A and B are shown apart, each in its own frame.
Chain A
Amino acid sequence: MADSTVSPPVAVRAERFGVLRRLFGAPLGAIAAIVVMAFALAAIAAPWLAPYDPNAIAPVNRMQGPSGAHWLGTDQLGRDLLSRIIHGTRTALYVAFAGTGGALAVGMAMGMAAGLGGKVLDSVLVLFNDSIKALPLVLFALALVTIYGASMVTLISVIAVSMAPGYFRVVRNQVMVLNNADFIVAAQSMGASRLRLAVTHMLPNLIGPILVLIAMDIPAVIGIESGLSFLGQGIQPPQSSWGNMLAEGYTYVRQAPHIAVAAGLPIVVSTIAFTFLGEALRDALDPRSGGRS
């Protein structure tokens, strides 16, 4: 085996497949990836997978515990909880991807500007991002919801702004490191423009750390969405969201605790799966870092 300190990465393409192999080679990573894919499938195929119409009201069947007909039971209006959870997956993943996607776009733009721009711009952007981080997410979101109204757009915007500093930091630091890398200096000496440097040379090197951050942020976003929806300030009924279901279950927690228990299950499973996926991705992308948080 070649000494890792001497051998530079030989072939980029081979490395990428190596990442996938390492990801699926780790048992926990493989399980997490499969669970995440199952959630994605549930979100895409919700109307076909759900055994019932998530909004079909059947007062006769209200607040029934789990049974053969209703695997997770029914809620206070007799709606099938499993069907509502499957449709809620759509909402949760939509908000998660739109929220982290927005944060990525905002954070990456700022990070690139800070890393490639001058020192003053860098300091201003760092201060700006530190300030965003200082705002308390849930209270900040509640304040904005009062002004802009509770809707999915408000929710996604708040998440995108609040989570942007994470991407800003990763992109900025990577660009700073890369600025001095030999191959960047070489490209620069051959007259590559700043934009070309950013797009063709820096972006590919940012993909790994960003993927890890996204996988780690998604559970947080799922928590925020369900938390704000639980308070009635996120996703609005009748659209099914895990947080809305939790709020309803909370109201009937004494008569029918199974509603809240069922509504919480997908949150528990999805946050754990995404966290383990993020960990496995990080280890696969950088085998040297063992268990850094």
Chain B
Amino acid sequence: MANYLLRRVILGLAVLVVAMLLLFLLIYAVPGDPATIALGPRASEAQKAFFREQMGLDDPLPVQALTFLWNLMHGDFGTDILSQRPVADLVFAALPKTILLAVVGVLWAAVIGVPLGIWAAMRPNTWTDWVIGIISTSVVALPAFLTAIYALILFAVQLSWFPAIGAGEPGNYGDQAHHLVLPAFAIGVAWVGYIARLVRVAMLETLAQPHVRTYRSFGVSDLRIALRFVLPIAVVPVISVLGVGMGNLLSGAVLVEVVFSRPGLGSMAYDAVISRNFPVLLGSVVVTTALYVVANFIADAAIAYLDPRLAEKG
């Protein structure tokens, strides 16, 4: 197990390094002056010179690549062109807000999706199963930002049940929770369907196994079998999908933040695009990539704990 986790750590680091190199190449392989392109035609000569110096644009490419990686590893993501503050400060200030939104979104989806999946799996090929299947398949591909816009129109603009803009007063947790409802709802809807489907399939597969038949012959009730013996196995694919789906989840959160004008990584990146504040954009890409790698490692570790057979297979 320790061996497996160590391999996963090394692999994760390798993925991170290659992803950063790829990013570097895509940014610096552009024809023309990267400073002008990144900062836009309206940037002053001083800003461009600063950017060039900061990014080491006058060095040979391999040196630039290594400097780029070295700086990232030390948490140096460059300087915000507008406020002159370190990008790392801005990104790490915005990150928890986005993570909160994403986590609450997935949590409520799991709370609804897992029981739905169990319910469907315990009545396979009945009307219940069919209706749950159709609903969950329908919502799976709904873009979160579209759900967000519809929720905003219905619940904020028409019904005025929830606020439309912002994240609530600082310090006032009730107000913040009130502001969180619609964005988290929008992010979770697609996940409800996704999780319900995964749980249903995994439950059905596990329920068909001989050890479950043995439990049944011992007179253990269906519900107890489902919850006590089958569910722990059935949540494994959900966890692994949550790891891989981290990118998806964050992309959804980015757009939903813009819809509800919520402070966070997405709003920050969007403002950075509009003001051509390239270092801030780059910083948010780097941090979310790292977040994806970490989330996948946690998912792998959790799976290895729940199902050691997978860890042994490698």
Interface residues of A (CB under 8 A from B): 28, 127-128, 130-140, 142-148, 219-220, 222-224, 226-227, 230-231, 233, 246, 249-250, 253-254, 257, 260-261, 264, 267-268, 271-272, 274-276, 279, 290-293
Contacts of B15 in A (CB 8 A): 127, 130-131, 134
Contacts of A145 in B (CB 8 A): 273
Contacts of A220 in B (CB 8 A): 141
Instruction: Verify B197–A291 contact, CB threshold 8 A.
Output: yes
Measured CA separation A109–B296 after assembly (Å): 26
Contact of A142 (CB < 8 Å), options: B23, B248, B250, B269: B269
Check: B270 CB closer than 8 A to any chain A CB: yes
Contact of B285 (CB < 8 Å), options: A136, A148, A249, A272: A136
Measured CA separation A275–B141 after assembly (Å): 7
Instruction: Verify A231–B247 contact, CB threshold 8 A.
Output: no
Closest to B251 in A: A138
CB distance from A16 to the nearest CB of B (A): 25
With A134-B247, A139-B254, A147-B38: A261-B150 Cβ-Cβ less than 8 Å: yes
Check: B79 CB closer than 8 A to any chain A CB: no
Instruction: Verify A223–B30 contact, CB threshold 8 A.
Output: no
Check: B299 CB closer than 8 A to any chain A CB: no
With A137-B247, A147-B27: A264-B150 Cβ-Cβ less than 8 Å: yes
Contacts of B48 in A (CB 8 A): none
Dominant secondary structure of chain B at its interface with chain A: helix
Dominant secondary structure of chain A at its interface with chain B: helix
Instruction: Verify B18–A127 contact, CB threshold 8 A.
Output: yes
Instruction: Verify B247–A291 contact, CB threshold 8 A.
Output: no
Closest to A274 in B: B141
Residue in A142, A220, A246 with the greatest tally of chain B CB atoms within 10 Å: A142
Measured CA separation A249–B145 after assembly (Å): 13
Measured CA separation A233–B134 after assembly (Å): 33
Task: Provide 26 A-B residue pairs closer than 8 Å at the C-beta atoms, listed in order of the A residue.
Answer: A127-B11, A128-B18, A128-B22, A130-B15, A131-B22, A134-B15, A134-B19, A134-B293, A135-B19, A135-B285, A136-B250, A136-B288, A138-B255, A138-B266, A140-B285, A226-B143, A253-B153, A254-B157, A257-B158, A260-B150, A267-B143, A272-B138, A272-B142, A275-B137, A279-B137, A292-B201
With A131-B18, A134-B293: A272-B141 Cβ-Cβ less than 8 Å: yes
Instruction: Verify A264–B149 contact, CB threshold 8 A.
Output: yes
Contacts of A267 in B (CB 8 A): 143, 146
Contact of A147 (CB < 8 Å), options: B37, B194, B251, B289: B37
Measured CA separation A250–B150 after assembly (Å): 10
